[in-house]
Amino acid sequence: MGVDSSLVVRGLMNRIQQLLKALGGLRHNPRCAIILGADSPEYKLYSRLESEGEYNFLFFINEEPWSHRTMLGHAQLRDPSELTALCQNHKIDAIFYCDEAKAKALPKLRCELIRREV
């Protein structure tokens, strides 16, 4: 008795469709992040990392009072005094910075601090 090859192929195709459907349900959840500063180097960093999809940037930390709560890309500009609360309330995984001076003033936080060059 021979095996009907069309049945084997049909069975494999059904199994592949099931696997693809299951994998389609798995979505990569980007990690939540903040960027210290809102100048050109920070925006370039934001643009590059946002396009890679590993991080979802929620906030830029900026000392300029007139820009408070405005949007830069998809991230809101917030005051440095709010950083600790933002990290806790939004479950921030990482803080990125380009300028060492901005990072020195940080309080102790429970998230990863990452220096990146643009």
How confident is the prediction along the chain (118 residues), in pLDDT tens digits per residue? 556 777 788 888 888 887 776 666 566 788 999 999 999 999 999 999 998 889 999 999 999 988 899 999 999 999 999 999 999 999 999 999 998 888 887 777 778 888 777 6
Tell me whether residue 5 is in a domain.
Answer: no
Q: Residue 91: which CATH number?
A: 3.40.50.720
Tell me whether residue 95 is in a domain.
Answer: yes
Closest CA to 50 of 109, 100, 94: 94
Tell me whether residue 4 is in a domain.
Answer: no
Closest CA to 83 of 101, 60, 99: 60
The neighbouring-strand residues paired with 96 are 35, 114
Tell me whether residue 103 is in a domain.
Answer: yes
Predicted model pTM: 0.72
> 86 is in which domain, residue-wise?
31-115
Tell me whether residue 11 is in a domain.
Answer: no
